[in-house]
Amino acid sequence: MNSILSSMRRRFWLGALLALGSSAVTVGAQTGTWPNKPIRIVVAFPPGGLTDAYARMYAEQLTAKLGVPAVVENKPGAGAIIGIDTVAKSAPDGYTLLMTTSGTVWQNRVLYSKLPYNLDKDLVPIAVFPSGPLVAGVPEKLPVTNMKEFIQYAKQNPTTMGTYAPGSYPHMVADQVNRNDGTKILSVHYRGETSMWVDLVSGQTQIAIGSYQAFATVQGRGVRPIGVTGPYRSPKLPDVPTLLEQGIDPKLMSLEGGLPLMAPAGTPEPILQALSQIAVEGANTQRAAQLREAFAIPNKPKNLEGTRADWARDVPIWIKMAVDLGIKLD
C-alpha cells in the first residue's frame, strides 16, 4: 500500500507541475514555497553572443511565469571556470542557475587536470538550448573559399584561429585539423565572441568559428564564410557547405553541441521540472522564434526527460573525443 501511495504522490506532483497552474511550487519543509525571492542566472561568458542572449530571454520568461525577478549575472573568465564554480557551490534551492556552453561542462572534466568542482557530481542539467551550426569565417583578403583551401594555406603560412573559450568546439576543430593535416594552427582564446570577430576583421587572426548572429555583425566588414559546423547547413547560409560535406573529420564534425542550463546537484525534482517546462514552453513564444531566426537555429530545447536522455548519450562521446585529442588546458 505504501508503494502505491508513493507512486500516486509522484504522479500527482508531475501532473501538477507540468500544468504549472500556479507560479509557486511547494517542495517541502526545507525550501518551503518556491520561488519566493529573485532567481539568478550566472552566465559564464561576457554580455553579447548566443549564451548571453538565451539567458536573458529565459530570465524574462521566468519573471513572467513565476512572478519573481530573474536576473542575469555575467561571470566570464578562466575558460568559464569562474562562472561554473559560482553555481556549483551555490545552495541547491532553485535560486542560482548556470548558462554556459556544452564544452565547458562536458569536456572540461578531462581537459583540465584539476577543477574546483566535480562536473560529474556538482551540477545537473535542466535544458540544453540548441546553438545551431557555427560559422567558420576568414578575412576576405585571405585567398581561400573553403576549409580545404584554408588548410593548404595554413600549411604554408603562420595561422591563428579565434575561439570563444579554451576547450570550445573551435579549439577542438583547430587541434584536430593540426593532427590530421599537419598544420600548426595556433588557437587564440577570447572571453566570448565579440572581440574574437573584431580581431578577425582587422586581420589579427586568420579564421574564427562562432554563432551565425555574431558572425553576421562582421560579415559586411570583410569576412567570408567558408563552412559551417554540425550535420546540416545553416538556414541563413544555405549555399555554404558544412565542414562535414567538405570532408573535414567526420567524427568531430557530425557532433552538435549546445548551451546547457544547469542547477546545483540536489535541487529538488519539482523545481527542475518547473524550470525545464518554462524553457520548453518559452521556446514556442514569438520572442524565442525571433532569437532562433537571428541566430539561424532550427531546433528547440527538449523537456527534462529528453534532456537527460541526450545528456547520457552525448556526453560520453564528447569526453572520449577530448581524451583522444589529448588536449590539456592546465
Residue 9 inside a domain? The answer is no
pLDDT at 26: 60
pLDDT of residue 24: 63
Distance in angstroms (rounded) separating the CA atoms of residues 112 and 246: 31
Exposure string of 280-297, with b = 16+ CB inside 10 Å and e = fewer, is: bebbeeeebeebbeebbb
Q: Does residue 83 form part of some domain? A: yes
The domain boundary, picked from 215, 237, 253, lies at: 253
Question: Which amino acid is present at 44?
Answer: A
Q: Which residue has the higher pLDDT, 175 or 21?
A: 175
Domain boundary among 203, 222, 253: 253
DSSP structural state of residue 79: G
Q: Which of 83, 75, 69 is nearest to 47 (CA)?
A: 75
Distance CA 250, CA 246 (A): 10
Question: Which residues, other chains included, contact 194 with Cβ-Cβ below 8 Å and sequence gap of 6+?
Answer: 46, 48, 49, 214
Same domain, 156 and 192: yes
Reported as a pLDDT band with limits 50, 70 and 90, residue 121 is very high
Residues 221 and 141 in one domain: yes
Q: Both 219 and 156 in a single domain?
A: yes
Residue 141 lies in a domain: yes
CATH for 273: 3.40.190.150
119 and 38 assigned to the same domain: yes
Do 52 and 197 lie in one domain? The reply is no
Note whether 247 and 291 are same-domain residues. Answer: no
- 2 found inside a domain: no
Q: Which of 253, 252, 234 is nearest to 243 (CA)?
A: 253
Same domain membership, residue 171 and residue 190: yes
Per-residue pLDDT band at 206 (split at 50, 70, 90): very high
Per-residue confidence band for 327, with pLDDT thresholds at 50, 70 and 90 = confident
pLDDT of residue 48: 80
Measured between its terminal Cα atoms, the distance across the chain in Å is 55
The CATH number linked to 205 is 3.40.190.10
36 and 56 both lie in a single domain: yes
What pLDDT band is residue 22 in, cutting at 50, 70 and 90?
very low
Last residue of a domain, one of 214, 231, 253: 253
Does any domain span residue 208? Answer: yes
Same structural domain, 248 and 263: no
Q: Are residues 127 and 176 in the same domain?
A: no
Classified as helix, coil or strand, 126 is strand
Give the SS3 label for residue 64.
helix
For the chain, the domain total comes to 2
pLDDT at 15: 43
In the chain, what percentage of residues exceed pLDDT 70? 90
Same domain membership, residue 318 and residue 209 = no
DSSP annotation string for 215-257: HHHHHTTTEEEEEE-SSS--TT-TTSPBTTTTTS-HHHHT---
Q: How many CB atoms lie within 10 A of CB 255?
A: 18
pLDDT score of 113 more than 50: yes
Residue at grid coordinates 534551492: 93
Q: What is the dihedral of CA 320, 322, 323, 328, to 10 degrees?
A: -160
Which domain range does residue 149 map to? 135-253
Q: Is 5 inside a domain boundary?
A: no
> Coil, strand or helix: which one is 275?
helix
pLDDT of 220 > 70? The answer is: yes
- Across the chain, mean pLDDT equals 88
User: In sequence order, which ranges of the chain are alpha helices (DSSP H)?
Assistant: 2-19, 49-66, 81-88, 102-106, 108-111, 147-156, 169-181, 194-201, 212-219, 250-253, 269-282, 286-295, 304-325
Decide if 233 contacts 242 (C-beta within 8 A). yes
Amino acid at 169: Y
